[in-house]
Amino acid sequence: MHALAVFHALARGALFAKRWLAGRKRVDVGLARAYEGQAASFEFSADALQWSGDLARIARPPRGRLLDLVFARVALHLGTTHERARTLVFSPRKRKSARGQRA
């Protein structure tokens, strides 16, 4: 549950930042300050402010995948690997048996 809570807080903040950036791909000091000012008034400001130092990466996430950044942060927070963090949040799917029941 802890991993899920961390994931949701980080994802909520990352999505706020991405929406706030509104397609901007470059982040300078002025833009970062403006973000911090507006994020502070957001209902989940603590979540949004976690990304204030990483806006450039939000604007241009690795491989174009915002969740890669989120899972990297979850892993860092939990002291584990990216893959393990992903598994803690999204349990591996169980395969269906030949009869159509879950195995």
In this structure, the number of other CB atoms found within 10 A of the CB of residue 49 comes to 17
Whole-angstrom distance, CA of residue 56 vs CA of residue 62: 11
Whole-angstrom distance, CA of residue 77 vs CA of residue 20: 24
- Comparison of pLDDT for 84 and 96, the residue scoring more: 84
Contact indicator for 51, 18 with CB cutoff of 8 Å:
no
pTM score: 0.81
Helix (H) or strand (E) holding 91: none
CA quadruple 65, 68, 69, 73: dihedral, nearest 10: 160
Region 41-53: mean pLDDT is: 93
Instruction: Tell me the residue length of the chain.
Output: 103
pLDDT tens readout for residues 75-95: 999 999 999 999 999 987 666
The whole-number pLDDT of residue 93 equals 67
